Structure 1
Amino acid sequence: MVDAITILAVALLVGGIVGTLVPLVPGGLLSLSGIYLYWWHSGFAEPGTITLAVLTVLGLLTLFAEFFAGSLAARVGGASWATTSIAAVVAITLLLVVGPIGLLVGLFGTVFLLEYFRRGDAAHSTRSALFATVGTLASTAIQALLTATILFVFVLAVFAF
């Protein structure tokens, strides 16, 4: 018989996967919450120490990807820290007003315009904007894969053995 806490823990893990696909929902944090809720509920016995450490590292990597991957990609593309910071604010604002398309268009447009004003080079501005936008999309894919891995490993560790 499966109890309510176990169901809630698994629901949080599934919510972690869904949360990576929904902007502004911390999928990694939901996954970590599910793991630690179950660990607490099991009397700190399941999952085991090594599995718990691996799942924690995966959850922290997910959080890192969520918060920093887009900015790092923009930096690799040549954008300044100021540009990436302003672009993040604009993108989140447009996300709230228009939705996911607003996030992508706002991110690309802001990085392009600010980098163009900063350097006067359309090719550089386009490159920086593409890196930022593709980095944000890649970050979402990475987060989804990490949270799915967390759920898979959790189910194997807790229910298969």
Structure 2
Amino acid sequence: MDALVLLAFALLALGMVGSILPLLPSGLTSLAGALVYWWHVGEPGPLALAVLVVLGLVATLVDWFGGALGATAGGASIRTTLVAAVVGLLLLPLGGPIGIILGIAGTVFVLEYYRHGDRADSVKTAAYATAGVLASALAQLLLTGAMFAILLAVHFL
């Protein structure tokens, strides 16, 4: 394998890692790997390349909006969702991915409790937000993993 093919697969693998680790754009990193491979090797064909681009873009959208969709589905306000995202990012250096999850869940609970005064509803909304973050990571991992698998098949089959 030459250097650019190795770079392409390294970017694809890094995209999968970015699905789990925050602040690493999983979909865009995987998409960069697919495009480096295509540019250098000339494969896959147009249809498979289109599938890879769509998978990378969907992974990016899930990365950007998955947690917020989970929070809003649970009834959180847009303000609560935005504040929770900021708190989660601020807690990243202190607690890593766990800090983000706890920061989002705690912030959503506190702000929604303040907003409505209903503890059970606030717990439900915080649970939805947490599930949205976790589901987003899983969806990104599946999408970027599919991209990796497609290019492995193209390369070795």
How would you bin the TM-score normalised by the shorter chain? Answer: over 0.9
Counterpart pick for 2:50 among 43, 48, 53: 53
Counterpart pick for 1:92 among 89, 93, 107: 89
Show the counterpart of 1:22.
21
Q: Superposed, which structure 2 residues align to 1:4-153 within 5 Å?
A: 4-42=3-41, 45-153=42-150
Q: TM-score by structure 1 length? A: 0.93
Residue-by-residue CA offset, 1:87-143 (whole Å, 9 max, x unaligned):
000011011222222111111110001111111111111111000011101111111
Aligned 8 A contact 1:51 1:157 in 2: no
Which ranges of structure 2 fall in alignment gaps of 5 or more residues?
none
Q: Percent identity?
A: 50
Over the aligned positions, Cα root-mean-square deviation in angstroms equals 1.0
DSSP-derived class of the 1:47 partner: coil
Which ranges of structure 1 fall in alignment gaps of 5 or more residues?
none
